[in-house]
Structure 1
Amino acid sequence: MSVKDTQQPRVAMVAGETSGDLLAGLLLDGLQRQWPQVQALGIGGPHMQQRGFEALWPSERLAVHGYSFEVLMRLWDILSIRRQLRARLLQDRPDVFVGIDAPDFNLGLEQDLRAAGIKTVHFVCPSIWAWRAERVHKIRAAADHVLCLFPFEPDLLAQHGIAATYVGHPLAQVIPMEPDRAAARARLGLVQEHPVLALLPGSRRAEVQYIAKPFMQAAALLRQQWPDLQVVLPAVPALHDRLVALSQELGVAAWLKIVRGQSHDVLAACDCTLIASGTATLEAALFKRPMVISYNMHPWSYRLMQRKQLQPWVGLPNILCYDFVVPELLQDQASPQALAHAVAQWLDDSAHARAKVQVVEQRFAALHRSLHKDTTTLSAHAIQKVLSA
């Protein structure tokens, strides 16, 4: 079935984790405005399903933690899903396949589908400018077109013969330039006058073990210094019960507020955040919030990632600002004591600390303006051009 015959394309999509599900949901908004009867199926999460997406598997099945060790433990299941999806798409061919991030899963699938004559689009340029530069060759073989979130990426890809369009970052549209802190605190039932710390340890299962525990322990240390500190953790639904159990095990459940989802409300409400490296750090920057970026994983995975790293930063806000605007504490540096000390620098009410917060807010406001585009429309138009080619 051809899009030229129906004018209503059949789109296959894969989003591999929470951040990809959010981006894909926004992309579906643009596709549905372009083609009201568009059909979309593949692998996705709740944001996609709310828009009528047919999820053959949930995004959570692809979510892994780390670079190698943890992936190997889940490799059989992930490869089985990819084989089954590939077979289905080759038999019941979509007009276009859109891979949403998840390059380890999507690029290989895209390469096979493209070789079979199916048009392919990759949404979110793999960060070849930060690490694993050799991946550019796989992108060139896999994608007819790449939708880029950051303005410098299309020129970089063009140097390697890869067609690409800068579409801005959809989160820059969703998140207001001036978040309403008071309203967010009211929605979460927080005391307006007391300081708020947001804990965002990630959305993958293994991150509970490696990241959530030291985050909660750091918050406990901070509460000794600020007894009225309100600590909120937005949990993805699949991890909510595990995080509650961990909070009880650590003896912090009495004061740690764990909410289902609502990460944007939590970021809008907080004074600062202790946050795992990933897309959520960009969300925190768009909310203009000071943060301490951290990450911890299996030692084997960390050593492999270090060897591939091309820049001194790992957090997206620092990478995009070309500066250590906010601190990063990784792996062995990320002890509860070190994390608490770094967060305390933002919570301090001294004139020096307030001046540092103001600088961060100004830097992040400038970043927000640079990323603000009509992403959904630009993405849909780029996909339309691919379909028409």
Structure 2
Amino acid sequence: MSQPLCIMLVAAEASGDDRGAGLMAALKAQLGPENVRFVGLGGQGMAAEGLASAFDMSELSILGLLEGLLAYPKVVRRADEMAALAVREKPDVAILIDSWGFTLRVAQRLKAQLPDMPVIKYVAPQVWASRPGRAAVLARHVDHLLSIHTFDAPYFEKAGLPTTFVGNSTLSLDLSGADPVALRRRLAIGPDEPVLVVLPGSRPSEIARVLPPFEEAVALLKSARPGLQVIVPAAATVADAVKARVAGWPYRAHVVEGEADRYSAMKAATVALACSGTVTTELALAGAPMVVGYRLGPVTYAILKRLIRTDYVTLFNIAAQDFVAPELIQADCNGPKIAREIARRLDDPDLRRAQVEAQDKALAQMGRGGPDPSEAAARAVLKVLGRGAA
């Protein structure tokens, strides 16, 4: 009897955990659950699919240059641990999901210690936006790239890295289980009451930098609109910190946890206020008009401002080449400006409708409606291994 295929997956943040969980489910479906086992690092989604994570991935939810420098010893230690795990478990392949800084260090160690093991990177660094030299760096340390954007391949293939476009799993998000009516009822929110959904990020650094201006904006909106209902879906990686902050607000806000309530809240939103990231695509899929905000550390921002080659940070804005959703970045990410943009949308149903239509059009440009990305990624992994579906 042949041994089950052993697959190492490494994800260090919430979006990577989602992709990893989808890939694991697809691999089990294609091979049979008894024919594959998983080792590595992930979050709750990957745990539900059968991964016993080596440690809590929230330790590595790091953003910003200074934060990264301070965390560097921990990153190196954890990368060493991932390599030691691979040496011990001898996986047939390692799949490193997003999280450029950490997964690159893992890739370097895997190639040094297990040179014959295929290493696959799932989600490319955004070299089309900044730091194009990363394409060549990645090509030296991994054997194959699974990309989520149609425009990735030329950058990496030019550097000699075989690339397979698998699509963006976020675009295949299943919102059929979302029940905004039941959520409103459970939270004692009337069917016609306006709802602001606030999503302040999934990293501790985002909660520290982005939540304060979001709080200021919500306070301004609540003072002018006492009937405005506020729902805050808390990502698992920062749930305790978010609940502690919201508990100190001088007005009532509803904190919800878990995927089902998160998506129901998005569907219930009159307007959303979101930290830049994967959540903006999820909100667009849910049909929620939104305002996007983001802040980095001042040194990190000053450096990135010189490197960035795009005017937009939100993926559907990049696809549309337009500010479909307003982006309030760094100094512009402040309470009065955020509140003003949200108020415009709360007061103008035609503006909300036009924004949702523009978001839908941009999602189509991004590839919504294509093949299931997790299934495509699983097929690509098996092809790299020279194996077909069971």
Give the TM-score, by structure 2 length: 0.91
Structure 1 match to 2:8: 12
State the AA in 2 paired with 1:10.
C
1:379 to 2:377 alignment: yes
Within-5 A mapping of 1:279-290: 279-290=278-289
Distance 1:242 1:113, change over 3 A: closer
Q: Which residue of 2 aligns with 1:221?
A: 220
User: Which residue in the other structure is 2:78 paired with?
Assistant: 81
Report the alpha carbon displacement of residue 319 of structure 1 after superposing the two structures with TM: 1.4
Structure 1 position 107 matched with structure 2 position 104: yes
The alignment status of 1:32 with 2:28, answered yes or no, reads yes
- Tell me, in whole angstroms, the C-alpha distance in 1 between the residues paired with 2:69 and 2:131: 19
Shift of 1:239: 2.5
SS in structure 1 of the partner of residue 53 of structure 2? strand
Cα distance in 2, alignment partners of residues 383 and 72 from structure 1: 33
1:340 is displaced (CA, Å) by 0.4
**2:52 maps to what in 1?**
54
Larger CA deviation: 369-378 vs 197-206: 369-378
- CA-to-aligned-CA distance 1:152-198 (integer Å, 9 cap, x gap): 22244323322111111222222349976435544655322111111
| C-alpha distance 158-191 of structure 1, shift in aligned 2 (>3 A) | same
- 1:267 is paired with a residue whose SS is helix
Aligned counterparts of 2:371 and 2:180: Cα–Cα separation in 1: 24
Preserved CA contact (<8 Å) 1:346 1:357 = no
Match of 1:311 in 2: 310
Q: SS at 1:133's partner residue? A: coil
Find the counterpart in structure 2 of residue 98 from structure 1: 95
For residues 191-340 of structure 1, what are the structure 2 equivalents within 5 Å? 191-252=190-251, 255-261=252-258, 262-340=261-339
- Which residues of 2 match residues 85-234 of structure 1 at below 5 A? 85-115=82-112, 116-176=115-175, 181-182=180-181, 185-186=184-185, 190-234=189-233
Structure 1 residue runs without a partner (length 5+): none
Q: Secondary structure at the match of 2:8?
A: strand
Separation of aligned partners in 1, 2:48 and 2:38: 12
CA change 1:21–1:350 in 2 (3 A) is closer
Change beyond 3 A, Cα 1:136–1:74:
same
* 1:39 counterpart letter in structure 2: R
Cα gap change, 1:290 to 1:183, in 2 (>3 Å) = same
The alignment-based identity, stated in percent, is 30
- Given that 1:293 and 1:328 are in contact with CA atoms closer than 8 Å, whether structure 2 keeps it comes out as yes
Separation (CA, whole Å) in 1 of partners of 2:337 and 2:354: 19
Q: Answer with 302-311 or 236-245: which moved more.
A: 236-245
RMSD of equivalent CA atoms: 2.3
- Displacement of 1:117 in angstroms is 1.3
TM-score between both structures, scaled by the size of structure 1: 0.91
Q: Answer yes or no: is the 8 Å Cα contact 1:177–1:365 preserved in 2.
A: no
Aligned-pair CA distance for 1:328: 0.6
1:49 to 1:179, Cα distance in 2 relative to 1, 3 A: closer
Q: Secondary structure at the match of 1:370?
A: coil
Secondary structure of the structure 1 residue equivalent to 2:121? strand
Whole-Å separation in 2 of the counterparts to 1:350 and 1:200: 22
Whether contact under 8 Å (1:288, 1:365) holds in the other structure is no
- Hey, which bits of structure 1, 4+ residues long, moved more than 3 A? 175-190, 367-372
CA distance in 1, matches of 2:150, 2:27: 22
Q: SS in structure 2 opposite 1:131?
A: coil
Change (3 A) 1:129 1:361: closer
Instruction: Confirm or deny: 8 A CA contact 1:296 1:334 kept in the other structure.
Output: yes
